[in-house]
Amino acid sequence: MSASSDILRTGALAAEGRRRTPHRKKNIASRQIGRHLSATTLLWVFAIGFAFPLLWFVLSSFKPSGDLFSYPLTLFPKQWTLSGYTTAWQSFDFAQYFINTIIVACVTTVLTVAASCASGYALAKYQNRWLKVFFVCILATTMLPTEVMLAPSFLVIRDLGLYNALAGIIVPSILTATGVLMFRSFFLTVPDDLVEAARIDGARELSIFFRIMVPLSRPIMLTLAIFSFQWRWNDYIWPLLVLNDPSKFTLQIGIQSIVGAQNINWSVLLGASVISMIPLVILYLVFQKYVMGANINAGLKD
Amino acid sequence: MTVTGTAATAAPERGTRTLAPGPHRRRVRLNHYTIAPLVLIAANVVLFALFFVWPAVIGFGYSFTDYTGVGDPTFIGGQNYVELVGDPSFYAALLRTLLFTVMVVPLSFVVSLFIANLMVSDYAKGKPVARVIFFLPWLVSPIITGVVWRWLFGENFGLVNFVIESLGGKAVPWQSNANLSLMVVVFAATWAGMAFSMLLFIAAIKNVPTSYYEAASLDGAGPVRLFFSITLPNIAPTSFIVVLLTTIGTMKEYALFVSLNNGGPGTENNLLVQYIYQTGFQRGQIGYASAASFVLMIILMAIALIQLAVNKKAGSR
């Protein structure tokens, strides 16, 4: 039976099946095929369902504005055009929005990763009263998102002199509970023996962190960096509160201003939306193996 | 004892010189390292104080005033709260928010866990491509998610109604019917939030020791049994985090509604955050909005505490 369990887990059918009687081999083989079929079908039904809204959206963006609403609707544009994109690019200060968004996303991401890594490590590998309090505080921040305290948060930003400045978006976004919790759960999986061993070798606490733990946590860093970049790229409500000057707007606010108009110009909206997604899609396609492949509990397990 | 005493006050790293034989002594000694962790959390402590404690404190203070953002606030006692209790649009927003959460959280949980299982299955083919597809919605911002689904479910121009009409059905009022409109947002929120939960689930499932599955298969467990008896209990901590994060994310949803139906039709789908935003910034009633914020905060706290209690009872970390 142990051979068959191996088959179930690894699918090493050919190697193991040779030892079986022909009848059982056939039985297992057909069950294998059945499982392959059903799992693959299910996976692709879901995948197509998930892809479709975006596919329809992107295909529509290549239609000329006159064809967008002409019945019968067709999946593919009869006539491919980039006019929606060019109009969107010209009628808005898109380059400026892009630069603003990139600055905000990059700076915040670097700071978030650094702060979260340090806090997560402290919470995982030390125990004292203050850390317990801090941990509860971090959990509380997930209960107290900015959205819940819009008005007072706005007053704080104003009193700190950060109103209408990109720093006003960056600084408050650095602390994220998700980031801290991600690092904490990663460092919990790092055996204490590693810390002990370093201590026995005479390493200082902070150099244990910087020289052993930081390099170990690289996969989590990349994962959080991509997450953080995405969060900040897509932020809406915080920039909406803090920014007043159109030259400082981020992409999301620019796009919402099209949606909020009396009559939505769908041609421009489709183009602008697709443009705003491109950087994240590229980033993801480049780094996807770090996101999806990142073994969140990397290392040290035997 | 002298060595550990020094370690606690001046040089934490010195404490390493005492070798701890048993697990009990090790825990005691770890407690003496206080300075290093405090240095490590310093940045986040400052940020927490500035952007969470401070707003919470002044928000609590302003909730007892008629502050409008300019001038001096006047203390009006609990009048804001009394008004809030009697405000039907606040109740409507609160109920709508809870309804939305109750629909999104289970749907999102089940879908993302199911897909995560398919994504780690040895039997499914084409996973690398499917992975990219499942992750794309996560890249899309709430604002654009709203636009995408608005485009799909437009009442007069959307593809969905076109298909329904082509099949001989009647156009469905996706926008003018409040409940249907909310359903569209539920789909959109699930679609957009699935990837993040899926990622957490995939990582958790991959970390379940293979030997557990092997042992269970030996005893004749099928895939369904394996899932419920091995996978689910072993990923309980992750499930907890996923449920918690989804609940909070859903309770504070704002941008998605703004671009999908702007809380419409009318104000039917105004959620709490939108209500707070409108009272605070469009009508300038900061005191009143702060009071509403506090009610929302207490609700979120309560939900989190309940979930924590349940989680503890379930016996995970």
User: What angle, rounded to 10 degrees, do the helices at A83-91 and A266-292 form?
Assistant: 90
Q: What is the mean pLDDT of residues B104-121?
A: 91
What is chain B's alpha carbon radius of gyration, rounded to the nearest angstrom?
25
**CB contact (8 A) between residue B132 and residue A288:** yes
**CA dist., res. A143 & res. B83, Å (int):** 24
Check residue B301 and give its pLDDT.
81
Protein fold of A92-292: MetI-like fold (1.10.3720)
Tell me which DSSP letter residue B65 carries: B
> Best residue in B3, B41, B121, B208 to probe A by mutation, most A CBs within 10 Å?
B41
For the stretch A31-64, pLDDT in tens is 777 777 788 888 899 999 999 999 999 988 888 8
Q: Which residue from B55, B141, B166 is facing A252, i.e. has the nearest CB?
A: B141
Q: State the nearest Cα–Cα gap between A240 and chain B, in angstroms.
A: 10
State the number of CA atoms in the 13 A half-sphere of A172 facing the CB: 33
The whole-angstrom distance between residue A213's C-alpha and the CA centroid of its chain comes to 23
Question: How does residue A85 score in pLDDT terms, banded at 50, 70 and 90?
Answer: confident
Within 8 A by CB and 6+ apart from B163, the residues are none
Q: Which helix (H) or strand (E) element contains residue A120?
A: helix A94-125
pLDDT band at B109 (very low <50, low <70, confident <90, very high): very high
What per-residue confidence (pLDDT) applies to A22?
A: 54
Better-scored residue on pLDDT, B317 or B72:
B72
Contact A118 B140 (CB under 8 A): no
Residue, of B9 and B163, whose pLDDT is higher: B163
- At the topology level, CATH places domain B86-313 in MetI-like fold (1.10.3720)
- Model confidence band, residue B175 (pLDDT cutoffs 50, 70, 90): confident
- Helix H or strand E segment including B81: helix B79-85
**Cα distance between residue B264 and residue B258, in whole Å:** 9
Place of tokens 């005893």: B219
Torsion on CA atoms A58, A64, A67, A69, rounded to nearest 10: 60
Interface of B with A in 75-104 (CB under 8 A): none
B41 in contact with A, Cβ within 8 Å: yes
In whole angstroms, what is the distance from residue B150 CA to residue B142 CA?
12
Q: What is the pLDDT of residue A114?
A: 94
Q: How far apart are CA B277 and CA B299, in angstroms?
A: 18
DSSP 3-state assignment of A162?
coil
Asked whether the beta carbons of A151 and A218 are under 8 A apart, the reply is no
Burial of B53 (0-12, 13-18, 19+ CB in 10 A): middle
- Please state the domain extents for chain B: 1-33, 86-313
Percentage of chain B modeled with pLDDT above 90: 13
Q: CB pairs below 8 Å between A and B: how many?
A: 335
Interface of B with A in 206-265 (CB under 8 A): 206-207, 210, 213-214, 217-218, 223, 237, 241, 244-245, 248, 252, 254-255, 258-259, 262
Share of chain B above pLDDT 70, in %: 89
Tokens at A102, concatenated = 């990139």
Q: Are B42 and A130 in contact (CB under 8 A)?
A: no
Res A12 pLDDT > 50:
no
Sequence-ordered alpha helix ranges (H) in B70-177: 79-85, 88-120, 127-139, 142-152, 159-166
Q: Are B304 and B93 in contact (CB under 8 A)?
A: no
Average pLDDT over residues A16-25: 50
* Per-residue pLDDT reduced to its tens digit, A238-287: 898 888 888 888 889 988 888 877 778 888 888 888 988 999 889 888 88
